[in-house]
Amino acid sequence: MSLELIREEVKVSRLIGSNSTQTVIENDIIVPDIKPDIVKIILLDGDVYIGDTDVMQDKILVNGTIQYKILYISDNEEENIKSINSSSNFSCGLDIDNARPGMKGRVKCEIEHMDFDILNGRKLNVKAVVKVEGKAQEETEYSVINNLRAEEDVQILKESIRINCFLGDNTEEYSMRESLEVPSDKPAMLEILRNDIKIAGKEYKATDGKIIAKGELNISTLYVGDDESRSIYFMEHQMPFTQFVDLPEINEDCECRVEYDINDTLFDMEEDSDGELRVLNAEIGLKIFAEGYGKKNIEVVEDAYSRYFKIGMEKELIKSEETFSENKSQIILKDTMQTEDEDCEIAEIFNVVSKPVISELIISDEKVVIEGSVNNTILYLAENNPQAVFACTKEVPFKHSVDIRGIKPEMQCEAEAVIDNCSHSSVSPKEVELRVVIGMNIRVINQIQLSVISKANDFPMDDRGADTQPSVVIYFTKPGDTLWKIAKKYCTTVDDIERVNNMADYEAVIPGQQILIPRKIS
């Protein structure tokens, strides 16, 4: 005899493991020949960009780049404020148990702290403490049995299961180019000192076959003006964008997750029609990662038997994950920053750069508790001071708690902190009050396990089977009995038991109930 198995393929993605670590990256930065010597560092910070990630046995290897931004006082009185932009590649390993080649690795990096030592006027030693977070994901395709066929009669019990199917992922890289004009009330550019970029207004939605990702690049530029005094000026620009990430299997009913990253920047000056450097050409590399999931109801075979042959079945666990909770909230931080120099008074604030860092995430008592800090840096112009530009930095800690009913410590929790808004106001000539609004995005993921039949084989009866059964059996039900179990035990059918006992379809049985079981006649 031949037992035909009807199957359905199910693709899932699940977390294998995650980890975080800190790595110290040390570099010597040489002042370019065209730049004057360093006398004093005003501000040193930077950005970290992820390159390739390679999943190895029990490890993810991360390759990235740190771009250093240095603002300094030079020994040239005519060109007092100068800047250096430098980059350095790095590699580090992140230990993740059970990771192996073929899996997909997702990694995030952020600079937690930077320190420097001026070795001489032409050389600077920089140490950066970088936090590396990563996870390994496994994509698995299961083949589940949703029907059986045979020449002889087969009784089949089915159940409906709901699976969060993985529909695929994709990464699209875009090069955004735009010519930005210097505001009419500001002088032309002589030299660009610094550019800061932030992605704001992130939103996305799934449509048929693609994800539409929108946002805005906020660009802050500090530059030396082309005027007699070579004064320092500040300007801001916005670059809105709409990009598409192809995911052929998704539609508007699917769940999607999208991550935005900047992976490269390039700025240069260009003359306008009047021959003045009033055009800032921006070229920014944007990387958008997207993955899609869809809930699918599948009928699978839960049990099967036949009075003509035996059926042997094997089960396996489908391991998947689904979103348990998504939460968006805000933290409002207020703090006062003071100038570091007692004789220095603030004439004008150029820019405030705020960078949040999450240091700890704890799940307990149906709460998610997040601790971290925001590193705030103020660039400002000083009154009656030849140095012109100053910077003061302060780290402000925060602790945030979010109630999530039903959350358990074994669940996976992801948190992202972004700066939604940053404003400032003068308290005194030496004090500034900052108001920073942090957007906290929390996503809780639950691991799901479903046991399904994956193999089924038929083989002959090893005894006389149903032929030895009497015409009618009187059976008294026991706790846990169902009509299916009884029918299977006595090689009959649920329909025949219901007919003989005048029972409704799959009527529940109660312990001690008397049931007549007819012999199934061929």
Among candidate residues 181, 217, 224, the one with its CA nearest the CA of residue 202 = 217
> Residues 440, 311: contact at Cβ < 8 Å?
no
Rounded alpha-carbon distances, angstroms, from residue 473 to 285, 477, 510: 77, 12, 18
Residue 160 confidence class, pLDDT cut points 50, 70, 90 = very high
What rounded mean pLDDT belongs to the chain? 90
Residue 308 confidence class, pLDDT cut points 50, 70, 90 = confident
Query: Domain-by-domain residue ranges, the chain?
Result: 155-305, 465-518
Return the pLDDT at 464. 54
pTM of the model: 0.86
Return the pLDDT at 343. 66
**pLDDT tens digits for 387-442?**
678 888 999 999 999 999 999 998 999 999 999 999 999 888 888 999 999 999 99
- For range 105-110, the mean pLDDT: 92
Return the pLDDT at 55. 96
- For range 148-165, the mean pLDDT: 90
Residue 53 has pLDDT above 60, yes or no: yes
**pLDDT tens digits for 163-214?**
999 999 999 999 999 999 999 999 999 999 999 999 999 999 999 999 999 9
- What is the arrangement of strands in the sheet containing 81-95, beginning at the earlier edge strand? 38-56, 59-74, 81-95
- For range 476-500, the mean pLDDT: 90
Among candidate residues 312, 417, 281, the one with its CA nearest the CA of residue 5 = 312
Percent of the chain at pLDDT > 70 equals 96
Residue 467 has pLDDT above 80, yes or no: no
We find that the CATH architecture of domain 465-518 is Roll (3.10)
Integer Cα distance of 290 and 1 in angstroms: 48
Return the pLDDT at 238. 96
Amino acid at 439: G
Return the pLDDT at 521. 54
Residue 468 confidence class, pLDDT cut points 50, 70, 90 = low
Integer Cα distance of 382 and 339 in angstroms: 10
CA torsion angle 50 56 58 60 (round to 10): 0
**pLDDT tens digits for 208-265?**
999 999 999 999 999 999 988 888 899 999 999 999 999 999 999 999 999 999 988 9
Residue 302 has pLDDT above 60, yes or no: yes
Beta bridge mates, 124: 29, 118
At 485, which helix (H) or strand (E)?
A: helix 483-489
Return the pLDDT at 37. 95
Rounded alpha-carbon distances, angstroms, from residue 240 to 214, 216, 257, 472: 8, 4, 20, 79
Question: Distance between terminal CA atoms of the chain?
Answer: 17
